[in-house]
Structure formats: structure tokens, C-alpha cells
Amino acid sequence: MTVAELQAALSLEVLVEGDMTREVSGGYCGDLLSWVMGRARSGDAWITVMGNVNAIAVCVLADTACLILSDASPLDDAARARAQAEEIPVLRSDKNTYTLAVELSRLLPS
């Protein structure tokens, strides 16, 4: 499933388009950046409330497929600019991390 398909299926708001053709192979939830960087896998959709520039750096370095902000969390201006420059898709939902993870899990092949 691509990021674009995921965005449509979960009705996510698109904050930064980035590379929406990227394949999503799994998911990871967490707000502690080093924790995520050490454990998230390449191609994961990362669900978090962290919308700062360092979160985008984690996406780039850990090679996640996209960033999904849960609980309608804000994306700050520096993060938006960095995500655009790095072509990282940033999506957002009013739903909380748990609910999004459950819905993502239903979409991904087990």
C-alpha cells in the first residue's frame, strides 16, 4: 500500500505532500525520538504527536515512509519547511495514536 492509498483509506489531512508513492510496509507509534529512531523500520508509517523539525529529521534518518500526526497535533513552520525539502509526507488526523494504529493494522497485510 502506498502513502497515498493510506491517506485516502484513513481520511488523513495532508499537511505536506512529499513522496506519496512510497510503499508503506509497517507502522510504529512513539513520541520519544531516539526510541523511535532505534526501533522503527524503514518503510514504516510513524504515528506521533511530535510535529517539530527533529521529528522530520528522524523520518529522514530512519527512512520512514511518512509521518502521521495524531490527536490533531500541530506541525511547526520549521518542520513543514524541512518536510517539504526532504519530500517527507506529513499527514494528520483528529484520532488518537491507538485508534490510528488499529486502523493501520487492518489495512496492512499481516
Give the footprint of another protein on this chain (CB under 8 A).
31-35, 37-38, 42, 50, 52-55, 57-58, 60-63, 78
**Positive or negative, the Cα torsion across 64, 32, 69, 82?**
negative
Minimal distance, residue 45 CB to another protein, in Å: 17
Residue 82's alpha-carbon distances to 9, 79, 99, 106, in angstroms, are 26, 5, 27, 31
Minimal distance, residue 67 CB to another protein, in Å: 12
Q: Directed axis angle between helix 77-86 and helix 53-62, to 10°? A: 20
Minimal distance, residue 82 CB to another protein, in Å: 9
Contact between 80 and 11 (Cβ < 8 Å):
no
Nearer to another protein, 34 or 110 (CB): 34
Nearer to another protein, 78 or 108 (CB): 78
Nearer to another protein, 73 or 99 (CB): 73
